[in-house]
Amino acid sequence: MREVKSVCVGKQPQRLLGRVINTGYRMLKILSILLLRLLYVHAQKTWTLLGNPLVAVYPCNETRDVLIQYEPGKPPEDENEYILKITQTFPVTTRIEIKFDSPAAVTLSGNTPARVSTEKDFIVVKFFKDAKGVVLVVRGPRNTPVVPYITYLNINREEYCQHAKVGYLDSFIQGYKNHAEIQPQRNSPSCGKSKITYTQLIVNGDVTQPGDWPWHTAIYRLDKNNIKYICGGSLISKNFVLTAAHCTTVRGVALLPELLSVVLGKYNLIGGDVGSEEREVHSIIVHEDFQLPYLHNDISLLKLKTEVTYTDYIQPACLWYKAAFDYLPTNQINGTVVGWGFDVTDNLSPKLNKATLMIVSEGTCIKKNPLLYATVLTDSKFCAGNADGISACNGDSGGGYHVFVPDTPKDNSPNATGSWYVRGIVSLTARRSDAAICDPHQYTVFTDVAKFTNWIEKYVN
């Protein structure tokens, strides 16, 4: 039998084996680190951090070729900047004209073969080569919250933005929020502004100046062979006038459109005016729930046959919206009514008058004359007046109850900037006991426009 000799592994071979194992471990670690670095570099090349989701808006109702892209959450000094894209094919010598409702700086983006310049109050883009689309960077004045909105877009003499939207980015403007009570500024809309500034219905009202109320309109009716003034109204767009339903109906049925006409920019009820224009009525839209004799839902729209051109004497009023209340200096709403209604002589006023009337509670109104106001008031009407001899009167029907909304919340300074909003429509008032004429010591009932904004926008937009 052979003798088997045991082999003893000494200390030196053990150390050699340990070094081999340690070396392999270190190499594996190095390879792992290299692999991770390669993956990281690859990720850097193929991935990128995303900012806030972009907001996309089509500002012109007539076309989907015009797109606004806006990135919320930018620093305050850059919040009023957005991208304007026009996705059309532009042949050489194309000319684009753009107007904004506030100061704007426009920069051409990319390698588009075009030049940007200004002419009068237009931004002009001229192409010197054929191009597929154009991208513009638009921003308002630096360090302000004012967003410039497109109000006019003309490409090669064709209008692309006749019904421009505005205000759609206002809710994203945050400003510098270093205090718990800070409120962002509201961009002032282009509506509700008088273009003429002077240095200096309505029973015992104040006489206005031409151009003070450029949205107030005179509505006339053809009666046999005579043209007769019947009501006021408020221009709210280039095609629509807002008024009372009882001004545009007979026994609750809409009149024929050809019986009515609208005069815009009018100041003198009888005689000529500097900037007045007449428009024929294309159609009369009466609220489907208008009811006599209590004048419930007393609201209607006149669609004009031809589009209005805005001038110093013809401008649209703004429509009331819920958040406007938060900008008013106080919780008490004071509005202005304008018109040619009966004055102290019990005759139509020859010049446009105005009066400021305060909205009163339903309870206060009913206590003044329970038999009348308890019968006619609903949740879509409100009372206003001072019960002091100043009120709307015969001939003021259909005119607007206008409230000034400042651009800065709670700003009650004499020089506050802002816009006039249609809050109500003159509907009815109490009559005197001795004549079928308004009693100026009673309150006036107004149709509450705030309750009909959806109805209005269904037709106007």
pLDDT at residue 173 in the model: 83
190, 397, 419, 427: which is the annotated catalytic residue? 397
The 10s digit of each residue's pLDDT in 263-286 is 999 999 987 888 899 999 999 999
* Residue 26 or residue 211, greater confidence: 211
pLDDT at residue 144 in the model: 76
Residue 421 reports pLDDT greater than 70: yes
pLDDT at residue 30 in the model: 61
* Residue 100 or residue 7, greater confidence: 100
pLDDT at residue 418 in the model: 93
What's the chain look like in SS3? CCCCCCCCCCHHHHHHHHHHHHHHHHHHHHHHHHHHHHHHHHHHHHCCCCCCCCEEECCECCCCCEEEEECCCCCHHHCCEEEEEEEEEECCCCEEEEEECCCCEEEECCCCCEEEEEECCEEEEEECCCEEEEEEEEECCCCCCCCCCEEEEEECCEECCCCECCCCCHHHCCCCCCCCCCCCCCCCCCCCCCCCCCCCCCCCCEECCCCCCCCEEEEEEEECCEEEEEEEEEECCCCEEEECHHHCEECCEECCHHHEEEEECCCECCCCCCCCEEEEEEEEEECCCCECCCCECCCEEEEECCCCCCCCCCCCCEECCHHHHHHCCCCCCEEEEEECCECCCCCECCECEEEEEEEECHHHHHHHCHHHHHHHCCCCEEEECCCCCCCCCCCCCCCEEEEEEECCCCCCCCCCCEEEEEEEEEEEECECCCCCCECCCCCEEEEEHHHCHHHHHHHHC
pLDDT at residue 170 in the model: 83
Q: Is 246 part of the annotated catalytic residue set?
A: yes
The 10s digit of each residue's pLDDT in 214-234 is 999 999 999 888 899 999 999
Residue 6 reports pLDDT greater than 50: no
Q: Is 397 part of the annotated catalytic residue set?
A: yes
Residue 2 reports pLDDT greater than 70: no
pLDDT at residue 96 in the model: 95
pLDDT at residue 246 in the model: 96
* Residue 283 or residue 438, greater confidence: 283
pLDDT at residue 141 in the model: 85
pLDDT at residue 35 in the model: 57
318-450 is classed CATH 2.60.40.10: no
Residue 118 reports pLDDT greater than 70: yes
pLDDT at residue 23 in the model: 62
Q: Read off the pLDDT band of 24 (50, 70, 90).
A: low
pLDDT at residue 174 in the model: 81
Fold: same for 213-304 and 318-450:
yes
212, 298, 396, 448: which is the annotated catalytic residue? 298
246, 287, 296, 402: which is the annotated catalytic residue? 246
* Residue 43 or residue 110, greater confidence: 110
Q: Read off the pLDDT band of 48 (50, 70, 90).
A: very low
Q: Where are the domains of the chain?
A: 55-172, 213-304, 318-450
Q: Read off the pLDDT band of 166 (50, 70, 90).
A: confident
Q: Lowest mean pLDDT: which of 21-35, 50-64, 318-332, 404-418? A: 21-35
Q: Give the fold, CATH level 3, of 213-304.
A: Thrombin, subunit H (2.40.10)
* Residue 163 or residue 426, greater confidence: 426
Query: What's the CATH code, domain 55-172?
Result: 2.60.40
The 10s digit of each residue's pLDDT in 140-158 is 888 777 899 999 999 999 9
Q: Is 273 part of the annotated catalytic residue set?
A: no
The 10s digit of each residue's pLDDT in 318-371 is 999 888 898 999 999 999 999 998 877 778 888 999 999 999 999 999 999 999
Mean pLDDT of the chain: 85
The 10s digit of each residue's pLDDT in 71-111 is 988 888 888 999 999 999 999 999 999 999 888 999 998 88
